[in-house]
Structure 1
């Protein structure tokens, strides 16, 4: 069974599918934590996963067991470009890396592109790893972040802050073939928020996300 103190800390009434994108909040004044040098260097040398198409023997997770033969995330060249489309491609890859972590318990790809300054992000990745280490698993977990800005810009603090809407397919935590936690699907409509990204040496790094004044209503 997943250790109860980890579940209580990580879930705490907040959907796991939302935590890594919307849960890493900033200060009230909107200042984001700077990405760590280790995170920046890791992103600059992000591993080139083999370009696996979805294999014919891929088996989605279910109550009967975890996913099998999950295709590895592959970062496209566009996701290394310092542009609006490059940032979107990077967030698409971020989504793939997070989905892969939830499907396999392997958070390696996600850790390579997320700043170590995002403590909540690191805690949640550890939680995902603990789930699988304890013999439990997740069903679902795919998110789809879409940048709303037609143009993105680097702010005076050196950080890009595109406003994003994210939908999610939902997530189930399965322990001993029973669902012990469930986050329902959501569209993200009515809840835009800025995602803080750094760009350095040809690579993006996910820093954190923040609340947007006047938003916060989910459209289920």
Structure 2
């Protein structure tokens, strides 16, 4: 048993400004323009006070902000991430009414909400709500969220890579004590990771062919994801 590749591609910061991607990543070629390429990148530089003890009077630092689509989007206008910057104004999913009930309908609503919150975290680096949907024992998933935070905190971002969970309720098994197993497949979009002017491409086209044993549990009045293991 092992985790699907979309989970094992864990991001870890090896040093400030350097990122290592385990799995099938590879640096992009010239077909994808780098953020530092003046022909493709849209960056806004602003001067800010250096501040802090020991800072000289009038000291400033250049802060570069990058925008997908080449410019800052108007408030409320969603723009997907691209080689020029991270996604903008990403709509935050809302928990559906009737989700936290131990019924088939509640379970299906939860799985969709988990999927949507994970995709939101991938686009924004805001992993708070997504992490609350995952049991603490699912350490690989929590490591993934920590790595996403690190990526965005270091001015990196992800392009695409979202998941769609295809589950078969005919393969639903109750394991007792509120725990359930659901036969599933995870469809994962190919992705590009940007950091320090370098792109790492991930081919996720084969993930859909892996059968996944998705385990969830209803505990303390709410659902939690316990694990997602490929069925050998």
Greater strand content: 2
Residues 16-41 of structure 1, C-alpha deviations (whole Å, 9 max, x = no match): xxxxxxxxxxxxxxxxxxxxxxxxxx
1:138 and 2:158 aligned: yes
CA RMSD of aligned residues (A): 2.4
Does the 8 A contact of 2:171 with 2:183 survive in 1? no
Does the 8 A contact of 1:195 with 1:210 survive in 2? yes
2:213 & 2:95 partners in 1: Cα distance? 22
1:98 & 1:158 partners in 2: Cα distance? 23
1:196 and 2:215 aligned: yes
More displaced 10-residue stretch of structure 1: 198-207 or 145-154: 145-154
2:180 match: secondary structure: coil
Normalising by structure 1, report the TM-score.
0.69
Unaligned runs of 5+ residues in structure 2 are 1-11, 26-74
C-alpha displacement at 1:3, in angstroms?
Answer: 3.2
**Equivalent residues, number:** 170
In the TM superposition, what are the counterparts of 1:151-170 in structure 2 within 5 Å?
Answer: 152-156=172-176, 158-170=178-190
2:146 & 2:207 partners in 1: Cα distance? 26
1:97 match: secondary structure: helix
Greater gyration radius = 2
C-alpha displacement at 1:168, in angstroms?
Answer: 1.4
Does the 8 A contact of 1:84 with 1:152 survive in 2? no
1:129 and 2:129 aligned: no
Unaligned runs of 5+ residues in structure 1 are 16-54, 214-220
Residues 69-126 of structure 1, C-alpha deviations (whole Å, 9 max, x = no match): 1111111124323233322221111111111111111101111111111111111110
More displaced 10-residue stretch of structure 1: 138-147 or 155-164: 155-164
1:182 and 2:208 aligned: no
C-alpha displacement at 1:184, in angstroms?
Answer: 3.4
1:19 corresponding residue in structure 2:
none
1:33 corresponding residue in structure 2:
none
In the TM superposition, what are the counterparts of 1:47-86 in structure 2 within 5 Å?
Answer: 56-86=76-106
1:98 corresponding residue in structure 2:
118
2:65 corresponding residue in structure 1:
none
C-alpha displacement at 1:178, in angstroms?
Answer: 3.5
1:13 and 2:32 aligned: no
2:198 & 2:98 partners in 1: Cα distance? 40
Q: Looking at both structures, which has the greater relative contact order when contacts are Cα pairs under 8 Å and sequence separation is at least 6?
A: 1
Q: Please list every run of at least 4 consecutive aligned residues from structure 1 whose deviation after the TM superposition is greater than 4 angstroms.
A: none
Greater helix content: 1
